[in-house]
């Protein structure tokens, strides 16, 4: 842990005392001559669960009012500081409009909290009431007067409750110590599915960027009790789906679990740059609860350590910038569109109304930015709207990511904020979503550079990265390779059934002379996909199914492969969908001649020709209930080929009416993976 020099100078006994102090965080503080610096902090939560039926935001297909309540909704607040405090209030809702934040700021200004010191954030749960002015085009002309009245009534109620939460937190301030730490949670997955570089819909794009960081700020009272926890994770709050019932989704469950673990605390969950990141898996309340529990579990682990001390209140920077739109249509165009139906007609009416107010079609979006800086120890960035993950990736490169925290869905809701990459790929976040938020066109490609430049400028030179700063480690899905190594090492030492032991011993005989079966460039046929590889990670592969006889994958061995006696070739791949009907399986051909047959299995298996001169060994290292992946070893007899001539290999489906499959992983470092297996098996 990096302790500021000024803190070490003021508190020379800190390293001795902190371990004892926080070891008793749930109880009383042991005697110690030094204590962390304190600042007045107050926290509070107020129920904002709707008391009457109301239309829920988040899904345009739900136009009827909610049918029940799964979990309560809350406004949660934290106020930091004495004479010049800052405040954050987090509402369980899909989004906070600029107008609503302004109304709350006006009320709180007379209570000693200026607008510049107020952050209003949303958890982005898609199962909370629609607020007046939020994504107005979604509901334009699709709700009745009574439904609209209920939305206005709930908006006023939410405003009152947020004010109450902030003022209760303000009134309850007591001296506390602040610290922060960062963990990792991995259920967020990029949802932008791509086909040939273009957006193709929502799903799970496993190679897409993510932000799995979990920054946590904790406030402890003078007795060491946890009184406030603020955590942040970059993922849509959409696990439950379009269920027409009120609930806080994974963020609500995370808050509940954290407050259960720390009964005297209030928990605030905010959302990072997760506009193109969705919960994986999703589809039920139970899964949402599991995601929330994973957040809480990581928070509990992190709070076993004192963390990085912070002094407060933070220094506040706030500014508004104009984000450029790309070539909006003329006023005449929008006049012509007034007769259109659906969302396009509603958008036209909204744009024409703006033209009447300002005299022109909007060409920019008014965008608020805010930053809290706890000296040089931590910069917390607040971004408005649904910000895609590329902004976190880039800001973590252009600033010192070890001292950076990024929260989105804060202070306004202008819509999605796409990056240059997302604009090039197109699709929902770049284009159609703009209609929902009454924007007359997509953003200009320069939007990313401008927004990042402003944030870097607000952070200032003290938060610039070192020249040798390593990349932030949480922007790709974590690899299971380390777990696979442990599993293989344990398997090598374990007692095995006789058939499995025989294959293990045969692999030990072959592994020293095994050579890559292809160079990664000669594989032809089959279909492209990504699926679990030998370690369970997702990687590119070619596969065929047994849906029809004759489906084939072909490749050639490297011409440089050496053959002194029998030749053993190794490749990575898999077999799957074992529960599908069994057929005649797959045929392996060598130089155009079918030599042996094999089929789907999830066990270590050996197939061979009757004379034993050609054999195929399969050593699965990853398994599911129906699929497996691992190492294949193909042994060919001596003098199978002329010197420096590649061997043509092929695998063909022998019959149809089954979805069983065979795949080859397009692993570019095949020799290294063979060595990895050799080292694991030989050294255990």
**Residue 63 within any structural domain of the chain:** no
**Residue 258 within any structural domain of the chain:** no
Three-state secondary structure readout of 31-95: CCCCCCCCEEEEEEEEECCCCCCCEECCCCCCCCECCCECCCCEEEEEEECCCCCEEEEEECCCC
Contact 426, 434 (CB under 8 A): no
CB atoms within 10 A of CB 175: 12
Beta bridge partners of 119: 88
pLDDT at 562: 65
Domain count, the chain: 2
d(CA 37, CA 309): 8
**Residue 357 within any structural domain of the chain:** no
CA distances from 548 to 17, 354, 466, 582 (A): 70, 59, 57, 13
Low-confidence ranges of the chain (pLDDT < 50): 1-33
| Helical (H) or strand (E) element with 652 | strand 648-653
User: Tens of pLDDT along 531-586?
Assistant: 889 988 888 899 999 999 999 999 998 866 666 678 899 999 999 999 999 999 99
CA distances from 677 to 534, 567, 633 (A): 11, 18, 12
**Residue 50 within any structural domain of the chain:** no
User: In 3-state terms, what secondary structure has residue 429?
Assistant: coil
pLDDT at 641: 52
pLDDT at 599: 95
**Residue 295 within any structural domain of the chain:** no
User: Tens of pLDDT along 239-280?
Assistant: 999 999 999 999 999 999 999 999 999 999 999 999 999 999
| Helical (H) or strand (E) element with 406 | strand 404-407
**Residue 296 within any structural domain of the chain:** no
pLDDT at 26: 38
**Residue 516 within any structural domain of the chain:** yes
Identify the domain containing residue 28 by its residue range. 1-34
Residue 558 in tokens: 């490297």
Non-local CB neighbours of 51 within 8 Å, separated by 6+ positions: 157
Contact 558, 610 (CB under 8 A): no
Sign of CA dihedral 349, 350, 353, 358: negative
Contact 385, 412 (CB under 8 A): yes
pLDDT at 529: 84
Residue with tokens 């024409």: 352
Residue with tokens 């019959």: 655
d(CA 77, CA 164): 9
In degrees, to the nearest 5, what angle opens at C-alpha 167 toward C-alphas 161 and 170? 145
Beta bridge partners of 345: none
d(CA 605, CA 504): 10
CB atoms within 10 A of CB 381: 26
pLDDT at 343: 93
pLDDT at 11: 32
**Residue 149 within any structural domain of the chain:** no
Rounded to the nearest 10°, the torsion over CA 653, 656, 659, 663 is 10
């Amino acid at each position: 842990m990096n302790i500021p020099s000024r803190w070490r100078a003021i508190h020379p006994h800190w390293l001795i005392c902190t371990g004892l102090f926080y070891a008793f965080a749930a109880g009383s503080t042991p005697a110690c001559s030094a204590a962390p610096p304190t600042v007045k902090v107050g926290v509070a939560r107020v129920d904002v669960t709707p008391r009457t039926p109301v239309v829920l935001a988040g899904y345009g297909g739900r136009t009827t009012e909610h049918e029940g309540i799964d979990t309560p909704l809350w406004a949660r607040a934290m106020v930091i500081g004495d004479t010049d405090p800052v405040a954050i209030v987090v509402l369980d809702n899909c989004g906070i409009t600029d107008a609503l934040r302004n109304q709350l700021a006006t009320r709180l200004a007379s209570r000693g909290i200026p607008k510049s010191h107020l952050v209003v954030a949303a958890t982005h749960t898609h199962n909370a009431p629609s607020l007046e002015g939020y994504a107005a085009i979604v509901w334009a002309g699709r709700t009745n007067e009574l439904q609209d009245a209920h939305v206005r009534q709930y908006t006023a109620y939410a405003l009152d409750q947020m004010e109450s939460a902030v003022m209760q937190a303000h009134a309850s301030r007591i001296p506390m110590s602040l610290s922060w730490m960062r963990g990792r949670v991995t259920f967020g997955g990029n949802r932008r599915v791509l086909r040939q570089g273009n957006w193709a819909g929502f799903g799970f794009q496993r190679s897409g960027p993510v932000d799995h960081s979990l920054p946590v700020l904790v406030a402890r009272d003078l007795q060491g009790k946890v009184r406030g926890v603020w955590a942040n994770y970059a993922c849509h709050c959409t696990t439950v789906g379009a269920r027409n019932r009120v609930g806080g989704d994974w963020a609500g469950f995370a808050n509940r679990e954290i407050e259960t673990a720390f009964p005297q605390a209030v928990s605030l969950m905010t959302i990072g740059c997760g506009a193109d990141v969705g919960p994986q898996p999703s589809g039920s309340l139970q899964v949402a609860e599991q995601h929330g529990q994973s957040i809480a579990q990581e928070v509990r682990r992190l709070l076993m350590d004192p963390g990085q001390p912070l002094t407060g209140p933070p220094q506040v920077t706030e500014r508004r910038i104009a984000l450029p739109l790309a070539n909006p249509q003329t006023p005449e165009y929008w006049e012509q569109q007034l007769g259109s139906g659906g969302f396009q007609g509603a958008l036209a009416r909204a744009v024409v109304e703006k033209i009447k107010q300002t005299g022109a079609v909007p060409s920019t979006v008014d965008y608020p930015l805010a930053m809290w800086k706890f000296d040089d120890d931590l910069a917390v960035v607040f971004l408005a709207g649904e910000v895609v993950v590329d902004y976190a990736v880039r800001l973590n490169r252009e600033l010192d990511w070890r001292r950076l925290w990024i929260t989105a869905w804060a202070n306004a809701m202008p819509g999605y904020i796409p990056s240059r990459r997302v604009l090039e790929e197109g699709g929902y976040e770049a284009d159609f979503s703009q209609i929902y938020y009454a924007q007359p066109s997509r953003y200009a490609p320069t939007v990313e550079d401008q927004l990042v430049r402003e944030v870097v400028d607000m952070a200032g030179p003290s938060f610039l990265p070192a020249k040798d700063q390593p990349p932030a480690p949480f922007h790709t899905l974590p690899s299971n390779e380390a777990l696979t190594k442990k599993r293989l090492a344990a398997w090598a030492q374990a007692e095995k059934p006789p058939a499995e032991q025989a294959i293990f011993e045969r692999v030990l005989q072959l592994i020293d002379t095994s050579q890559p079966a292809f160079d990664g460039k000669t594989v032809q046929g089959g279909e492209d996909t990504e699926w679990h590889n030998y370690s369970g990670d997702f990687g590119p592969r070619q596969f065929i199914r047994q849906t029809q006889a004759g489906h084939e994958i072909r490749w050639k061995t490297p011409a440089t492969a050496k053959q002194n006696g029998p030749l053993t070739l190794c490749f990575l791949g898999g077999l799957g969908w074992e529960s599908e009907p069994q057929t005649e399986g797959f045929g392996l051909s060598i130089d155009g001649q079918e030599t042996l047959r094999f089929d789907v299995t999830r066990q270590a298996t050996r197939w061979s020709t009757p004379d034993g001169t050609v054999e195929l060994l399969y050593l699965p290292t990853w398994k599911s209930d129906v699929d497996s992946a691992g190492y294949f070893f193909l042994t060919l007899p001596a003098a199978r080929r002329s010197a420096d001539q590649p061997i043509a290999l092929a695998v063909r489906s022998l019959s149809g009416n089954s979805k069983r499959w065979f795949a080859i992983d397009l692993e570019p470092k095949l020799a290294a993976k063979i060595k990895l297996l050799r080292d694991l098996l030989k050294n255990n």
